[in-house]
Chain A
Amino acid sequence: MHLHKYEKIWIIFGTGALLAFLIILGIGAFYQGSQPPSCMVTIDPQNVQAHEAFKEENLGLNQVGDNEYVVNVLASAFNYNLGKDENGSPVKTIRIPAGANVTFQATTSDVIHGFQLAGTNVNMMLEPGYISEYETTLDKPGTYTLICNEYCGTGHHLMMATVEVFEE
């Protein structure tokens, strides 16, 4: 098939740009290890407490190392369960030191939920039967809102929690 000269230039330029984008994404994913959250661990959605991370006492912020934290979250309509404080009331805010290595581990006990820490790259789908996991470092101190960004029913827009990143 005959192609006009300008058309060839355009196709080479366009396809070349797309290839360049793909190479950058590929290097990010496979060389630097920056993959989208794709945890492969499954659990029983009707018995999430059977998994260590989602036992009532392990929910919320857990310090696991020198500057390392794991946050276990159990989502259900329309609430993020972050465990209980000393007085036995539900935790609504967790505080993490800036620059710490944080792994968010979450699942749902009912429908699909979103898990987005607005203003950061923490964003993943929570699906019944699966654990979603994302490891990150929150460098910028501030108050971030954890919101559900996948429709989950009539109270969907009320489902939230707060993450404070503080300077040590």
Chain B
Amino acid sequence: MMNNTAVSQQTDQGFLAKKAGLPVKDARLTMAHMYVAFVSLLIGGLMGLLQVLVRTGKFTLPFGIDYYQVLTVHGVILALVLTTFFIIGFQYALMSKTVGMTNGERKWAWISFYIMLIGTAITAVLILLGKASVLYTFYAPLQAHPLFYIGLTLVVVGSWIAVFVNLHQFFSWKKKHKGEVSPLLAFMVAINMIIWFISTLGVAATVVIQMIPWSLGLVDEINILVSRTLFWYFGHPLVYFWLLPAYMAWYGIIPKIIGGKIFSDSLARMAFIMFLLFSIPVGFHHQLLEPGIDPFWKYIQVVLTFAVAIPSLLTAFSMFATFESAGRAKGYTGLFGFMRGLPWKDVRFFAPFVGMAAFVPAGAGGLINASHQLNQVVHNTIWVTGHFHLTLATTVILTFFGISYWLIPVLTGRKLDAHINRLGIIQTIVWAVGMFIMSGAMHIAGLLGAPRRSSYSEYGGSEQAMEWIGYQYAQAIGGSILFIGILLMVYIFVYMTFFAPKGQEEFPMAETAEDALPTPMVFENWKLWIGLAVTLILFAYTIPFIDIIQNSPPGSPPFKWPIGYN
């Protein structure tokens, strides 16, 4: 039995959340994911700060903590935990809003949440105990404690339940609405979850079939190249799993915030289908410098990698078309004068816009990385770190922050007030400045040959290393500014969760422009698109993968960290 205050508080919150279009039970589900995401942001950000400080050479970690342990925490908690929890939570909110959620689906969603949480906790404990300083890519034959792999497996299994919940929501809606075009945002969530499911099969295969038995000592050796190929089969679609929720907000939310309409529903769906087709059969572009893979097949996957740039080009066009029509509708003229019609003082627009701007150099850098021979200049240099701090840690994260400014108040039945809006704009500027300095310095140092994933080193006093250290100071300055940005964002999150004035924040959902033509039904032909995606994967991987297995060298025994001491 609940007491009276609790009941009235609950109905109160439920009423407010419902008004914004989200049942309170669904709001609570998404909010649980948000707590994990923002706690991760704080911990991961602190680890990042420690790294840039260590790399100046003026600071040593206390209590004998190892640099690579800190680096493992940073990568796992930001790239794997924060992203997965934020995305899955955000997608539940989108699905609840567009196609609804049944009690049964919600129950499974909570089971998924707790399995992922337990998996995260197990992994975290093993890393903190120093039994898994293998970085977030955990390449064999460096070996972590078996529980590290088991924890990660639980995170993936939990996320699969979320996949099935979202797809069940989506296809139940379709069954009830035969012959209708599905809601755009629900369609996008379905695509993202299908990409996630197909790609995680690869990492699950290497972890469950290869690494867990090998770490438990049930088998003596592991096939390195098979393991790496399965990992990177997952590794690139993973980055699209991060990016697509940002695109969901750009296509389906931002037009509403700027007082415009979705430029073209069909174009948005076409872009997402292209991601489904081209984001997976491209893993070799992370393995361009590896022995044992035929360079012909590397080139085939380079071609497919370039194809995945096309939907991003489409997205850039759609965004600016939306901006232009919204600006002109407000009476602004001139070639670029329409830009004045955009709500620059609204953080819900400003933060994602800065993220979009960052994607211009970030995308160009990505094409350089994937350019077959050109990759030799930048592979495993800190240029790559600079690259994904623009894509993931600027484009994606600033869009996630932009989403949070309205989503968290919607979930908690509060309002985004002027003070938080202003602070949010400051936070965005702090982030942009910090990242410009840090990522810029990383890009330049990388071109000079500075390696990624390396603690402070003078490399025997080499002249080249001396040159890199100057840029490491710049990275420390940029990184410190970014940490201030993280503290600001965590404050904003706490304020929006517990202290902002009660009220009804709008859940901004954009509509399609009146003059846009109807969406062709071919986009709803799921058998066709999934079939094509699988065909492309089989084309890109079958022959080289059989080659790798047939020409395998003897396997590798495990090497426990710190290598050489076991």
Contact = CB atoms under 8 A, between A and B. Distances in A.
A152 B449 contact: no
B563 A129 contact: no
B68 A129 contact: no
Contacts of A162: 460, 462
Given A21-B306, A36-B295, A128-B224, A154 B459 contact: no
A145 B465 contact: yes
Contacts of A10: 313, 317
Interface residues of A, number: 68
A37 B291 contact: yes
A123 to B, nearest CB: 5
Most-contacted residue by chain B among A116, A151, A154 (CB, 10 A):
A151
B551 interface: yes
A29 B306 contact: no
B342 to A, nearest CB: 19
A111 B552 contact: no
A45 B302 CA distance: 30
Interface stretch (B365-373, B419-427, B489-497): B365-373
Most-contacted residue by chain B among A11, A35, A124, A157 (CB, 10 A):
A157
Nearest to A24: B371
B375 interface: yes
Contacts of B333: none
A161 B382 CA distance: 19
Contacts of A114: 380, 451
14 contacts: A15-B313, A28-B373, A36-B375, A43-B553, A112-B224, A118-B451, A119-B449, A125-B287, A127-B225, A129-B225, A150-B139, A151-B453, A152-B142, A152-B563
A154 B379 contact: no
A38 B294 contact: yes
Q: How large is the interface on B (under 10, 10 to 19, 20 to 34, 35 or more residues)?
A: 35 or more
B380 A116 contact: yes
A147 interface: yes
Contacts of A67: none
A50 to B, nearest CB: 11
Most-contacted residue by chain A among B287, B372, B375 (CB, 10 A):
B372
A81 to B, nearest CB: 14
Given A152-B142, A153-B561, A18 B310 contact: yes
A94 interface: no
B176 to A, nearest CB: 26
Contacts of B380: 114, 116, 123, 125, 149-150
B376 A153 contact: no
B291 A131 contact: yes
Interface string A114-140: 101011011111011111110000000
Interface string B233-266: 0000000000000000000000000000000101
A150 B277 CA distance: 31
Contact of A145 (B375, B462, B520): B462
B310 A143 contact: no
A28 to B, nearest CB: 6
B557 A36 contact: no
A36 B301 CA distance: 13
A32 B317 CA distance: 36
Interface of A: 1-4, 6-7, 10-11, 14-15, 18, 21-22, 25-26, 28-30, 34-46, 77, 110-112, 114, 116, 118-119, 121-125, 127-133, 143-145, 147-158, 160, 162
B377 interface: yes
Interface of B: 66, 68, 133, 135, 139, 141-142, 224-225, 228, 264, 266-267, 270, 287-295, 298-299, 302-303, 306-307, 309-310, 313-314, 317, 321, 367, 371-377, 379-381, 448-457, 459-460, 462-465, 517, 520, 551-557, 559, 561-564
Nearest to B314: A11
Nearest to B270: A1
Leading 5 A-B pairs by shortest Cβ distance: A118-B449, A129-B553, A42-B553, A153-B563, A130-B291
A1 B68 contact: no
B376 A123 contact: yes
Contact of A129 (B306, B381, B552): B552
Given A112-B139, A152-B563, A154-B68, A22 B294 contact: no
Given A44-B554, A118-B449, A127-B224, A25 B376 contact: no
A29 B367 CA distance: 17
A125 B142 CA distance: 15
B454 A130 contact: no
B449 A29 contact: no
B451 A149 contact: yes
A158 B457 contact: yes
B228 to A, nearest CB: 8
A112 B558 CA distance: 12
Given A44-B553, A116-B381, A127 B454 contact: no
Contacts of B294: 38, 40
A45 B449 CA distance: 28
Nearest to B318: A7
B313 A11 contact: yes
Given A130-B292, A154-B66, 12 more contacts: A11-B313, A18-B310, A22-B303, A111-B563, A112-B224, A128-B141, A129-B553, A131-B291, A145-B460, A145-B462, A151-B142, A154-B562
